[in-house]
Amino acid sequence: MRQKHAGRYGHIGWDLSAEVSVLTGTIIISIADAQAIQDMFLHRSRFPKPVEFYSTLQILGDNVVVTEGDTWKRHRKICAPSFSEQNNKLVWEESIRVTSEALEAWGDATQTGTSHAADFTMKITLLVLAAASFGRRVSWTDSSGTPPGHSMSFGEAVEVVAHNMAVKVAIPDPLLVLTPHWRRVRRAFAELTQYIQEMISQRQVGDKVVRHDLLSGLLDASTDPADPLLSLSQEELLGNVFIFLMAGHETTANTLAFAMALLALCQDEQEALFQDVQAVLQRAGSAVPRYEDINSFKYTAAVVNETLRLFPPAMGIPKVAAEACTITVGGVGKGEARTSISVPAGTYITMDVNGLHRNPRYWRDPEAFRPARFLAADWPRDAFIAFAAGARGCLGRRFAEVESISFLSLFISRFKIDLTPEYTARPGETIEQQRDRLCDATAAFSMTPLHLPLIFTRRS
C-alpha cells in the first residue's frame, strides 16, 4: 500500500507529479515538497479543502472537518476549547486505567499475545475515548453488552460504522436492506446515531457538574445566548460528536498497533524505549507513568512520531486551487534548484503525506525506523504533516499524543513485544521487506493494518 518516494517522483526528478482523468479531464497534482505544502497551509483561502471529498464524514451533519470559510471558523471556535489541558490530563488518567486493567486481565501469565494487535488497541482506544470524550467510564472486563433499547453494543456500532462509511454514502438507504452486510451497516448507523443522541440529551438535561470530557466542553461552548452565530444546531452537534468519535478511535488505535509491530521488528529500538521509560519512572519514583512527567517521555514521543511518519493515518490531504497560481518545488539530486509550474483554477492538489514523509531531501535513510531522528533539535518539522498543519491542523493532536505516550510507556514497562514465527525474517529478506509483509495495510477510515499477530512476554 505504501509507495516509496522514488517510485512516484524519481522518474520525474521533481517533487511533483500530475495526472489527468481520461473520462473527465480533471487534473490532479501530487506534491511532496515541504515548502510548497507549508505555503498552501499558510494561504488556505487560495487552497481550500474540497468539501465534496468529505461526504463520508458528513453523514450525521456538518462538523469542523467538512466545512470551509465562515462556517468552519464557527465550528472551530466552538470545538477548540474542548481540547483543554484538563482534558489532556483526563485522557492520560483514563489511558493508564484502561491499559492497567487490560494487563491485569492477563493474570500472572508469563507470556500471552494477540492474533491481531489492532483488535487489542481498538478496545483500548474505545474505552479511553468513551471516558475522556463522552464521560462513559467502562472497565476492561465489563460484560454488560447491549443496553436496553439497542440491538448493538456501542463498540460494535462504532467498529461497523468506521469500516463501512463508503457503503453508507454510495448505497441509497432503501437499498441497504438487500444484503445481510448492508442491513448490518444500516443498523449500525442507526444505533450509533441513537447512542450519540442519548449522550447529548442526557448531558443537556442532567445536573450541571463540572466535567472535562470533550462532550461537556462542546456542549458548554455550543450555546451562546448573546450570539446565536456561536451556537451549534442539534444536527451540527451530532456531526461534531461523530467526528470526535471516529477520529479519536480508529486512527490512534491503528497508530499504536503499527508502533507495537515496529518495536517487535526492531528489538534494539524497543530496548532503547524500555530503558528510557525505566529511567523516567525511576526518577519519578513511580511504577506507573504520571501525567506531570509527560515531557520526560521523549523517546516514547519519538516512537509515536516515527510510526506516524512511516504509517500516517491519511496518505494524502486534498486541496483545490481556488484561482490560477504557480507552485514551486524542489527535487532529489537537484541541490537548491527549484522549478515552477502553472496551475489552473479548479485543479485538485494532493499533499502527498506518504511521499513527503519518505522524501530523502528531508529524512536521512527514510525507509528505516529510527525514532531518535525526532530527538534532534533540527528535525524537519515542515516535512512532518501527520496531523496536517496551520489553522486547519488536527484539533485532536494533543489528545492522540497523550493517549499514545501513556499507553506505550506503561505497556513497554511491563511487557516485551515479539514477532510470531510466521513473520520472522525469510532468507534474503531485507528488514524493509519484512516490515512491509508484517504491516500490510488497507485504507478504511484511516490506514488500517490487516494482520498483526504479536507475542507479549512479561518483564521480570
Residue where a domain stops, chosen among 374, 399, 415: 374
Residue 172 CB neighbours (<10 A)? 7
Query: Stretch 78-87: mean pLDDT, rounded?
Result: 89
- 274 vs 289: CA distance, rounded Å: 13
Residue 379 lies in a domain: no
Beta bridge partners of 443: 447
Are both 26 and 73 inside the same structural domain? no
Comparing C-alpha atoms, which of 376, 354, 269 is closest to residue 309? 354
Whether the CB-CB separation of 417 and 454 falls below 8 Å is answered with: yes
203 has a pLDDT exceeding 90: no
- 64 vs 395: CA distance, rounded Å: 9
pLDDT of 261-298, one tens digit each? 999 999 999 999 999 999 999 999 999 999 999 999 99
What is the domain range of residue 12? 1-61+317-374
Structure confidence at residue 157 (pLDDT): 86
What is residue 97's three-state secondary structure? Answer: helix
Are both 281 and 333 inside the same structural domain? no
Are both 157 and 115 inside the same structural domain? yes
Are both 419 and 296 inside the same structural domain? yes
Beta bridge partners of 28: 19, 348
- 310 vs 259: CA distance, rounded Å: 10
> Domains in the chain: how many in total?
2
What is residue 330's three-state secondary structure? Answer: strand
Residue 327 lies in a domain: yes
> For the chain, how far is it from start to end, CA to CA, in angstroms?
38
Amino acid at position 142, single letter: D
Q: Does the annotation list 394 as a binding residue?
A: yes
Are both 262 and 392 inside the same structural domain? yes
24 has a pLDDT exceeding 70: yes
Query: Stretch 44-63: mean pLDDT, rounded?
Result: 86
- 402 vs 88: CA distance, rounded Å: 7
Residue where a domain stops, chosen among 332, 354, 374: 374
Residue 299 lies in a domain: yes
**Average pLDDT over all residues of the chain:** 89
The CATH number for 229's domain is 1.10.630.10
Residue 96 lies in a domain: yes
- 2 vs 412: CA distance, rounded Å: 27
Structure confidence at residue 27 (pLDDT): 81
